[in-house]
Structure 1
Amino acid sequence: MGDTFYGYIRVSSKDQNEARQIHAMQEFGVTKENMVIEKQSGKDFQQPLYQKLVDLMHPGDVLVIKSIDRLGRNYTEILEQWAYLTKKRNIAVVVLDMPLLDTRQGRDLTGTLIADIVLQLLSYVAETERQNIRQRQAEGIAAAKKRGVHFGRKKIEMPDLFNVLATEYMRGTLSSRDAAAQLGISGQTFLRRIREKSSHTI
Structure 2
Amino acid sequence: MQTFLYARVSTSDQTISHQRDHAEAAGFTLDEVIQDDGVSGISTRFQDRKGGAKLLDKVRRGDVLVVRWVDRLGRNYEDVTETIRTLMSKGVVIKTIINGMTFDGATTDPIQKAVRDALIAFMAATAQAQAEAIKEAQKAGIKKAKETEGEAKYLGRKPSFDRAQLLQVSERLALGVSPSAIAADAGVSRAVVYRIKEDPAKMLAALETWEGRQSS
2:23 corresponding residue in structure 1: 25
Kept in 2: contact 1:104–1:112 (CA 8 A): no
Whichever residue aligns with residue 59 of structure 1, its letter is R
**Cα 1:82–1:65 shift into 2, 3 Å:** same
Output aligned runs, 1:122-141, within 5 Å. Answer: 122-123=123-124
Match of 2:9 among 11, 21, 24: 11
**1:34 counterpart = 2:58:** no
TM-score by length of 2: 0.48
| Paired positions, count | 125
Distance across 1 between alignment mates of 2:74 and 2:14: 20
Whichever residue aligns with residue 67 of structure 2, its letter is I
Structure 2 residues not aligned, in runs of 5+: 134-216
**1:102 counterpart = 2:120:** no
Deviation at 1:114, TM superposition (A): 3.2
1:175-201 C-alpha deviation (Å, 9 max, x unpaired)? xxxxxxxxxxxxxxxxxxxxxxxxxxx
Output aligned runs, 1:1-202, within 5 Å. Answer: 2=1, 4-27=2-25, 28-31=27-30, 33-42=31-40, 45=44, 46-86=48-88, 88-99=89-100, 101-104=101-104, 107-109=107-109, 113-123=114-124
Deviation at 1:90, TM superposition (A): 1.5
Root-mean-square deviation (Å): 3.2
Whichever residue aligns with residue 102 of structure 2, its letter is D
1:102-131 C-alpha deviation (Å, 9 max, x unpaired)? 12598454765533221223456678x69x
Instruction: Specify the SS of the correspondent of 1:98.
Output: helix
Name which one, 1 or 2, has greater alpha-carbon Rg. 1
Kept in 2: contact 1:103–1:111 (CA 8 A): no
Distance across 1 between alignment mates of 2:4 and 2:75: 21
